[in-house]
Amino acid sequence: MKFLIASDLHGSAHFTRLLLEKFRKEQADRLLLLGDLLYHGPRNALPEEYDPARVAAMLNEYKDVILAVKGNCDSSVDQMVLEFPIEAPYLPVFQGGTSLYLTHGDVFTPEKPMPMPRGSAFLFGHIHVPVNEWRGGILFLNPGSVSIPKGESTNGYMVFEKGVFTFKKIDGTPYDKAVLRA
């Protein structure tokens, strides 16, 4: 099974459209979203083509293949317009002998993760900057933000297939990878 992993869409219809195009092009089986889906958040400027209702409608078309966790900008009213669950603080996903723990990164952080077996991957968003680092037997990964990249980073996402995470720019160009052995 192939996963596309992305975070921090923040209501950008433009970048959500590009992301869903990539989901189809990659022929991924599941879309893992790490929070902050609809609302821009008061700390951010409005992203390109800010249209939360449109983003909700686009994501709802993929409701059967989305796994999502709650971001600090996601609220109960967001859940009212989304047809897949978004309120889990974290989700464990077991795939092909590997263990992935999805979370937004504001409650459980790389400094204070949930209890996880060694050899697991901790997948988070929130900081809008890509992370690829082994520490204490855990692989910490952040795909960066789809819509509002910070620091030197660019808009992007991650693909996971057969134990390999590939970081990609929103145009599909790979720029980094990590291996998680089963």
Q: Which spans of this chain sit near Mn ion (rule: CB under 5 A)?
A: 8, 36
Query: How distant is the alpha carbon of residue 136 from its chain centre?
Result: 23
Q: Least distance from C-beta 1 to Mn ion, angstroms?
A: 27
8 vs 51 by CB, closer to Mn ion: 8
Q: Least distance from C-beta 144 to Mn ion, angstroms?
A: 11
Measured torsion, CA atoms of residues 158, 145, 55, 78, in degrees rounded to the nearest 10: 110
Q: Least distance from C-beta 146 to Mn ion, angstroms?
A: 10
Residue with tokens 């989304």: 82
Tokens of 79: 């859940």
In the DSSP assignment, the letter for residue 79 is H
Q: Which residue is nearest to Mn ion (CB)?
A: 36
113 vs 144 by CB, closer to Mn ion: 144
Rounded Cα distance between 3 and 22, Å, is: 12
The percent of the chain in helix, strand and coil, each rounded to the nearest 5, is 15, 30, 55
Q: Least distance from C-beta 124 to Mn ion, angstroms?
A: 11
Rounded Cα distance between 136 and 69, Å, is: 24
22 vs 126 by CB, closer to Mn ion: 126
55 vs 180 by CB, closer to Mn ion: 55
Rounded Cα distance between 79 and 66, Å, is: 14
Rounded Cα distance between 6 and 68, Å, is: 10
Q: Least distance from C-beta 38 to Mn ion, angstroms?
A: 11
74 vs 120 by CB, closer to Mn ion: 74
Q: Least distance from C-beta 15 to Mn ion, angstroms?
A: 13
Residue with tokens 């800010």: 50
124 vs 165 by CB, closer to Mn ion: 124
